[in-house]
Amino acid sequence: MLEQAGITNVNTQLMLNGVIAVLSFLGAVIGSTLVDKVGRRKMLFTASCLFVLWFSIVAALSATYSGTGNKAGSNAVSSSASTAFAPAR
């Protein structure tokens, strides 16, 4: 996904994969502590709606900036993808 977004530097890809791992861990910890407080049904509904929203944003950014060589667009795609998919990993 990162190469598709125009990020071809191996060091940058490695750094972004590390950020994704940290975000995954934080999402898991926060999610597990909220289950008892909020409830599973509310969390499932909220998370599903937010996932659809973020997935739509990532798809739109990827379609817009894929293969253009636009550095800002590539950064937007990678940061949106990291934010959206890190907790789901």
pLDDT at 14 > cutoff 60: yes
The answer to pTM > 0.85 is no
What pLDDT is recorded for position 49?
94
What pLDDT is recorded for position 55?
83
Question: How many angstroms separate the CA atoms of 23 and 63, rounded?
Answer: 24
Give the pLDDT band of residue 89 (cuts 50, 70, 90). Answer: very low
Mean pLDDT computed over 40-69: 83
Count of all residues that appear for the chain in the document: 89
Question: How many angstroms separate the CA atoms of 24 and 56, rounded?
Answer: 20
- Give the ranges where 1-89 is alpha helix by DSSP (H): 10-38, 40-65, 71-85
